[in-house]
């Protein structure tokens, strides 16, 4: 793990601990559990996934987590369009950007004749799938820890549509970065 990745993990851990404490002070236990588990998932991604992150990936992840925690713990989700205009687009763009480079490292994808199209499709599909898991997690948290269930199916569907568009934009940004290096390794 290089210095940038270590500093990113430290920032995410400090942010998660702060939101964990704030969530428990406000008796928002579900968000507290969500916040305290985040550094472990990030660490596992870095170690097991052998992710190599650039500054955009690290700081984008910190920003996406901050926006998400602020939405849940500080009640920013009550601000109109906060979730749909800010949180989901930022999170899906960053996730697609990171996944694009990671998926590109897989040997079987490089053998495809339409490599870039296939890589983009797999990246956007992975973002959509992870977005779906997030929606299921949110529903489970609401179901087991609160008495407020997700307001509607429309909310989850809109989240998914935004995740897909964010995934497309994030994959495009990663492609442009890779293309600017003159060679797509």
pLDDT-derived band at 128 (thresholds 50, 70, 90) equals very high
In tens, the pLDDT along 50-61 reads 666 678 877 888
**Residue 20 half-sphere exposure, CB side, CA atoms within 13 Å?**
13
What is the reported pLDDT for 169?
95
- Residue 39, burial from CB neighbour count under 10 angstroms (0-12, 13-18, 19+): buried
What one-character DSSP code corresponds to residue 76? G
Give dist(CA 22, CA 120) in Å, integer. 38
Q: Which 3 state secondary structure label does DSSP give 149?
A: coil
Residue 36 has pLDDT above 50, yes or no: yes
Instruction: Kindly report the pTM of this predicted structure.
Output: 0.78
Residues in the chain, how many?
185
pLDDT band for 185, please (50, 70, 90 cuts): very low
């Amino acid at each position: 793990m290089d210095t940038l990745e270590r500093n990113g993990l430290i920032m995410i851990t400090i942010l998660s601990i702060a939101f964990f404490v704030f969530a428990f002070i406000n008796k928002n236990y579900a968000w507290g559990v969500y916040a305290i588990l985040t550094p472990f998932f990030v660490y596992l991604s870095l170690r097991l996934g052998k992710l190599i992150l650039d500054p955009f990936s690290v700081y984008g992840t910190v920003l996406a987590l901050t926006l998400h925690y602020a939405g849940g713990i500080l009640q920013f989700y009550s601000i109109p369009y906060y979730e749909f205009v800010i949180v989901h687009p930022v999170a899906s763009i960053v996730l697609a950007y990171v996944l694009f480079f990671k998926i590109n490292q897989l040997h079987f994808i490089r053998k495809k004749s339409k490599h870039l199209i296939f890589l983009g499709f797999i990246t956007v599909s992975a973002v959509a799938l992870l977005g779906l898991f997030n929606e299921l997690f949110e529903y489970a948290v609401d179901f087991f820890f609160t008495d407020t269930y997700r307001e509607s199916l429309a909310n989850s569907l809109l989240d998914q549509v935004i995740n897909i568009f964010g995934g497309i934009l994030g994959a495009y940004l990663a492609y442009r970065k890779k293309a600017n290096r003159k060679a797509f390794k």
